Amino acid sequence: MRALLRRLSGLWAFLLLVTADVAIASQVVDSVRMHRAPDHTRLVFDLKGPVEHELSRLRDPDRIVLDVRDIDLAYDLAQLDLAATPVSGIRTGKHEDNRTRVVFDLKEKVRPRTNMLQPVEPHGWRLVLDLMDSEPEPVKSMEQLVEAQEGPQPMIVAIDPGHGGEDPGAIGPSGVYEKDVVLQIARRLYRMMDERQGMQPVMLREGDYYIPLAERRQMAAEKHGADVFISIHADAFTDPRARGASVFALSNQGATSARARYLARISNESDRVAGVHESERGNANGLMDVLADMTMSGSMTHSIFLGEQVLEELGGITRLHGNRKRVEQAGFAVLQEPSMVSILVESGFLSNRQEERKLTDPNHQEKVARSILRGVDRYFRHHPAPGSWYAAQRARNGREHRVASGETLSAIAQRYSVSTGALRRVNDIQGDTIRAGQTLRIPEGGAD
């Protein structure tokens, strides 16, 4: 009996030892990322589960200290690029109670905060450290700069490349990230609009970082005074055969299709994927007021009309999803701003191998950007704002021609006594191809 008790006692001691070892077992952290945004620097520690952590600040010199329990930091933080960040160096050390200390030496004052994020595709658990910059010097907004100009005013277009930073968006079969593709298209669109008279583009995201959905709307409307808001995306679906571009606007009566509802839900999840701090998330309680304001102001109707112009142009350079030639609608959070005409452009399906190749091709990106440009230009010409360059052009020229079936560019030029070259220039036409139903602006007469 005593021998049995000794064996049970030894077994119990062994189990206690194993349990204690499990309790203090450290998870290995071998992935750390850093993103630089215009107003903060974000560090992300990829974890296998939640961890206890403490954040503190030390003075003389300024340092941020992050203590994390029960981890083994296997990632070499010296690999992180500290350029353009307020951090001058990072040091690590192992302390008592299985605590890992990470010290951030600072060259500028920051406001630190941490956030423990639960798993959401494509990420697992994450510990996020945000180093918020000190308040920047106030600068004139784009709206103020435009108002200071003399003469007719340009129309301000806010270009929003979707996703960014911790939110990669859709991921193609070869590993292409949506956030990278749409940023490339957006940069091309910005360049084209910047060269175009009557338009003043602003980029809401210029690098690989995330901006909360509510802040994108706010930046465009309040900081830049945008007339038009264009959010650029690339699609994905479980069926790799799905393909084609599409354009969406906000809806006040539910989604117009199951796919539109699905895309709005995925788009609205971006804040969770990116790990947006609770204080930065928009208040959805006022959605009904927003919809009422948009209905009263007519911005929802104008958004659909703008979307139709862009969709028609896209249909000239790529397949439309399901051959649908109408703008679909759903509850996209990023479009919920009554003061702007807003659309969301899905440039194609990254989940389709053929379209993934097209969307990463610079030539195709140029075509997509130019299609959006032409659609926006057509919208402004049909609905020129008072005091704008477009209104001045309409007052001066005032001539338009809707192409009938069988008409040629040269015949139209001859009819209005203008050169074909002038027709091409003012309508941004390459070659002589025109289509029935297309509206052409007729310039003043002149030779090539």
Lowest mean pLDDT segment, chosen from 102-116, 125-139, 177-191, 424-438: 125-139
Cα distance between residue 255 and residue 262, in whole Å? 9
Residue 255 has pLDDT above 80, yes or no: yes
CATH topology for the 27-133 domain: Immunoglobulin-like (2.60.40)
Indicate whether 145 pLDDT > 70: no
The string over 114-131, giving b where at least 16 C-beta atoms fall within 10 Å of a residue's C-beta and e elsewhere, is beebeebeebebbbbbbb
Give every strand in the sheet of 32-36, ordered side by side: 32-36, 40-47, 125-133, 110-117
Distance from C-alpha of 127 to C-alpha of 138, rounded to nearest angstrom = 32
Q: What is the pLDDT of residues 266-281, one digit of tens each?
A: 888 898 888 887 666 6
User: If you average pLDDT over each of 23-32, 215-224, 320-329, 424-433, which comes out highest?
Assistant: 215-224
Token pair of 250 as six digits: 């906000």
Backbone phi, psi, residue 205, to 5°: -130, 120
Q: What pLDDT does residue 227 have?
A: 95
What is the 8-class DSSP label of residue 120?
A: B
- CATH number of the domain located at residue range(s) 142-382 in this protein: 3.40.630.40
Q: What is the pLDDT of residues 321-339, one digit of tens each?
A: 888 889 999 888 888 888 8
Residue 148 has pLDDT above 70, yes or no: no
- Answer yes or no: is pLDDT of 399 > 90: no
- What is the DSSP-derived secondary structure letter of residue 285? G
- Who contacts 237 (Cβ-Cβ below 8 Å, separation ≥6)? 349, 351
Let me know: does 59 contact 70? Beta carbons within 8 Å: no
According to CATH, the topology of domain 397-441 is Membrane-bound Lytic Murein Transglycosylase D; Chain A (3.10.350)
CA 176/CA 131 separation, integer angstroms: 29
Radius of gyration of the chain (CA): 27
Mean pLDDT of 187-191: 98
- Arithmetic mean of pLDDT, 17-45: 78
**Does the model's pTM come out above 0.85?**
no
Domain extents in the chain: 27-133, 142-382, 397-441
Local confidence band at 237 (pLDDT 50, 70, 90 cut-offs): confident
Q: What are the backbone dihedrals phi and psi of residue 263, each rounded to the nearest 5 degrees, phi first?
A: -65, -40
